[in-house]
Amino acid sequence: MPELVVTALLAPSRLALQLLRAFTWSLVYAAALLAAAVYGGIALAHVLCRPRRGCCGRPRRAAPACRSDPALGEHCFLSLKSSGLRLHYVSAGRGNGPLMLFLHGFPENWFSWRYQLREFQNRFHVVAVDLRGYGSSDAPRNVDCYTTDLLMADIQDVILGLGYSKCILVSHDWGALVAWNFSIYYPSLVERMVVVSGAPMSVYQDYSVRHIGQLFRSNYMFLFQLPWLPEKLLSMSDFQILKTTLTNRKTGIPHLTPNELEAFLYDFSQPGGLTGPLNYYRNLFRNFPLEPQELATPTLLLWGEKDPYLEPGLVGAIGSRFVPGRLEAHILPGAGHWIPQSNPQEMHQYMWAFLQDLLD
């Protein structure tokens, strides 16, 4: 068929897709402005209630001692083959078994895996990375440096750069979004997956269209589409919004100590420390709409019954995309969003059972 005819036949479909994307972005930015008004009010209230803290975040001069605990592992750096970026990671148990690679979420860093680093280092080589833009890892400023393709290339470079041909990939929150995609496009590098509180983006997209309540739970992601303003709001009153996110009595991390809180805030308080992490969100709608994807990697999925950000119904939506027999899913009663830190013992029990055949 002549190329001109093919182009003419496809033109209506392309136009419809462009119109759909334009309509989507108009909704996203409308929601972003609304979220900015709400979070702006919250940030201003924090400043008025604590005027001594001021309108900016206080830079931390030194990381808290808990981040240097030798029981968690050795601090190392790896130069990535694809990008040349340098990623920071904490490693323990080299030579004790397969590679177990941990990917953290927002607003966290490698330290969110402290319980798992202690638990599994005797039988696995455990490695918790600071993803690009976080912590001591390199943090390019450009939004285009945080696309899913580049994030997946980072994980590939970490696995191969550490001298392995495959890994057990453990992920939470934003790390889970990267892990889901990685298991689809690099299946030979993932032997097993453990996913906590995170859905594939295509599943999240379809589910949110049908369940408007999920969009309300994720309202912050619309704010994060805007330039510079989210960084300003999150840092006001010495990062009070982040502090509340992590320590709230009902929705935060139970029993988080002041030093452990500082282990997260230290990185965000450094110059430009929030921009890299927020750039992940600024790429969320780049490829909308997404095509449904079949999931086949053997996966343990853990979900909090009372997760304030993600509805339990997403678990069933994820299961509907799986090859039968490849997904083991558990909704933890009473648990929230931060399962690796709030419910480590339950998580470890499920993980040991899920991975037992690899150790026999």
Cβ burial 41-60 (10 Å sphere, 16+ → b, else e): eebeebbeeeeebeeebeeb
Six-digit token string for 82: 């694809």
**Rg of the chain over all Cα atoms, to the nearest angstrom:** 21
Task: Please name the amino acid found at residue 81.
Answer: K
| CA–CA dist 287, 147 (Å, integer) | 10
> If we measure between CA atoms, which residue out of 274, 263, 321, 348 comes closest to residue 60?
263
CA distance linking residue 281 with residue 143, whole number of Å: 9
Whether the bond between 107 and the residue before it is cis, its omega within 30 degrees of 0, is yes
| Residue 337 falls in the annotated catalytic set | yes
Q: Are 248 and 58 in contact (CB under 8 A)?
A: no
Catalytic residue among 146, 266, 281, 309: 281
Asked whether 269 and 57 are in contact (CB, 8 A), the reply is: yes
Q: E-strand spans in the chain?
A: 74-79, 86-92, 99-103, 125-129, 167-172, 190-196, 299-304, 327-332
157-173 b/e (C-beta count within 10 Å ≥ 16 → b) = bbbeebebeebbbbbbb
Beta strands in 202-305 (DSSP E): 299-304
Q: Which of 146, 309, 337, 350 is catalytic?
A: 337
Catalytic residue among 138, 157, 173, 267: 173
Q: Encode 41-94 in three state secondary structure.
A: HHHHHHHHHCHHHCCCCCCCCCCCHHHHCHHHCEEEEEECCCCCCEEEEEEECC
The residue whose two tokens read 């590679």 is 99
Q: How far is CA 345 from CA 120, 141, 208, 312, 354, in A?
A: 12, 38, 31, 21, 14
Among this protein's residues, is 173 annotated catalytic? yes
Q: Is there a catalytic annotation at residue 157?
A: no
Active site residues: 173, 281, 337
